Structure 1
Amino acid sequence: MQALLRELPLHQGLARLFGQLGGDGFWRAQVDLLRQLVPLDNALVSLMRSGQAPRLLADFDFAGAVDMADYGAGMYLLDPFHQAACAGIADGLYSLDGLAPDQFRQSEYYLSYFRHVVGSDELQFLLNHRGAVLSLSLGRQTAFDAAELGTLLCVRDWVLAAMRRHAELSAPEGLVGEPAVGSLGALLERSGVRLSEREEATARLILQGFSSKAIARQLGISPETVKVHRRNLYQKLNVGGHAELFALLLRRG
């Protein structure tokens, strides 16, 4: 009996969640329920579709005000979860470390932007629906440990089922994406400089947090050729390195 009483808030949260399916309060009920299981600093719901900017559906910040304007203006192009969703990904719960490039946490995107908007770690429930990917992002200033990830994996199936049912009951216009801001290369070319296809690909991978060796594997070229492309694009854009390249992208976005 005592065990059932301790779990009473969880059952009450499930009741609120079911009652909000298809309604305006669904995402708040979903996030509040997950916070009973794992501490969170923020949560974000978005719809991702290849060739479009993500549509932000709900935003909950429990640690202070966060401005998401830069994300929709172009920072999403560097988001590992957005990249994975647009490339094709199965329904499930995914971790930042499981999807991010090898040097993501050393990238200027992570150091100057991601840590301040999301935190040091992120998990996302991803659900394919009507040709798009519906995302429920859970962010925190401290890393999720194995026990917390295990807890969320235990509830993954009903979380995804609730997300799917809510999406089926929602108005179709609520699941339409936003116009794309253009490719990363197009944003950089607002500086008046045109990059070659290889230079643009190198710039994108640098900004996403890939090491030179990982870029070489991605593009099927040698690490020495990567260095040549890196040097050429830095010269063309008149930047001194990774940090200045990211600052330029942020200004152009």
Structure 2
Amino acid sequence: MLATPVIERCVPMLAPDSLQRWHQALARAMAACHGAQFAETLIDALASLVPVESVMINLERIGGAPRLLYERGIPAENRELLLQRYFSRGYLLDPFCLAVDQGLPEGFYSLGEIAPDDFFDSQYYKTYYLGAGSVEDCYFMLELDAGQRISISLYNGLSARPFQAEQLQLLRSLAPVILELGRQHWRETGNAEQAQGADFEQQLREAFMSFGEGLLTARELEVCHLLLRGHSAKSSARLLEISSETVRMHRKNLYTKLQIGSQAELFSLFIAWLGGETERAQPVVAHAPAPLPRANGDSPRRSA
């Protein structure tokens, strides 16, 4: 007799009334496809199954800044942080944007599946997640073409519980229909939103990579970038193929050169420098920050 197969990922069973609400809401979203109310009705359908406090739908472009297409539920006190600072420069350290740049396949993802190992202890998480009223988020990500994606980000904030495992499983099971429905609606969006400000965005990314040039060694720069993105010494060591102790040595050296004492200070210095706000920053051309000055005539050099 054949053994009964074990299903490792069981989707929670919905009560008949919940299933009916979902089907009714999904039907409304399908009817609104290509219309102005599509995003609203699609999120209503998802919210009929799981609690969702706030939502952002973005056009994600490999090598470019995300473009906000739709949002709701963002508290008034957090709008400046999310809708101005995040989209002007904060996205450069966002683990989801970085994963998109690295070729993340379309699908459904929780933040914990994407973020580096120390991300939830990082100053970036405290600023752009906790500081904006969110403790956790998850994403539907659909591919429009080779260089552009649509992300549907669902957030639960400080006034709600984080997404439960069963809720994430349920959302993941909906991915095929959500992605295809979204593709039908947004398939022309990538063409309509082509690279406005592409030159500035390229300058911004180049500025990120040059943060600390002329002051830090090449290896210290690599460690600095990984620390800003939320990697631990162990994770950085694995990526750079050096020991954790060597990473800690470089971290200590770069902190000394930048005259800071913590990852929080490093993050604050980077964000201020990127915005051209530090006293040490020189006048810039086309909004690209100037490099930090050399310290005691030091020049970049490769170290182990």
Q: Please, what TM-score do these two structures have when normalized by structure 2?
A: 0.74
- Give the match for residue 198 of structure 1: 219
Specify the structure having the higher radius of gyration (Cα): 2
Distance of aligned partners of 1:36 and 1:214 in 2 relative to their CA distance in 1, 3 Å threshold: same
CA contact (8 A) 2:99 2:114 kept: yes
- Give the match for residue 42 of structure 2: 30
Distance of aligned partners of 1:226 and 1:20 in 2 relative to their CA distance in 1, 3 Å threshold: same
One-letter code of the match for 2:122? S
CA contact (8 A) 2:18 2:48 kept: no
Structure 2 counterparts to residues 164-203 of structure 1, below 5 A: 164-170=183-189, 172-174=191-193, 176=195, 179=198, 180=201, 181-183=204-206, 184-186=208-210, 188-189=211-212, 194-203=215-224
Could you say what secondary structure the match of 1:90 adopts? coil
Distance of aligned partners of 1:73 and 1:200 in 2 relative to their CA distance in 1, 3 Å threshold: farther
Distance of aligned partners of 1:62 and 1:227 in 2 relative to their CA distance in 1, 3 Å threshold: closer
Distance of aligned partners of 1:169 and 1:18 in 2 relative to their CA distance in 1, 3 Å threshold: farther
CA RMSD of aligned residues (A): 2.3
Q: Please, what TM-score do these two structures have when normalized by structure 1?
A: 0.88
Could you say what secondary structure the match of 2:205 adopts? coil
How far off its partner does 1:7 sit? 4.3
Q: Distance in 2 between matches of 1:204 and 1:98?
A: 20
How far off its partner does 1:49 sit? 2.1
- 2:46 matches 1:44: no
CA contact (8 A) 1:193 1:236 kept: no
Structure 2 counterparts to residues 1-150 of structure 1, below 5 A: 7-61=19-73, 64-67=76-79, 68=82, 69-117=84-132, 119-130=134-145, 131-141=147-157, 142-150=161-169
Higher relative contact order (CA 8 A, sep 6+): 1
Q: Distance in 1 between matches of 2:197 and 2:77?
A: 23
How far off its partner does 1:64 sit? 4.8
- 2:179 matches 1:160: yes
Which structure 1 segments of 5+ residues have no match? none
Q: Distance in 2 between matches of 1:5 and 1:98?
A: 32
CA contact (8 A) 2:54 2:74 kept: yes
Q: Which sits farther off after the overlay, 64-73 or 92-101?
A: 64-73
Q: Among the aligned pairs, what percent are the same residue?
A: 34
Q: Aligned pairs, how many?
A: 248
Which structure 2 segments of 5+ residues have no match? 1-14, 276-304
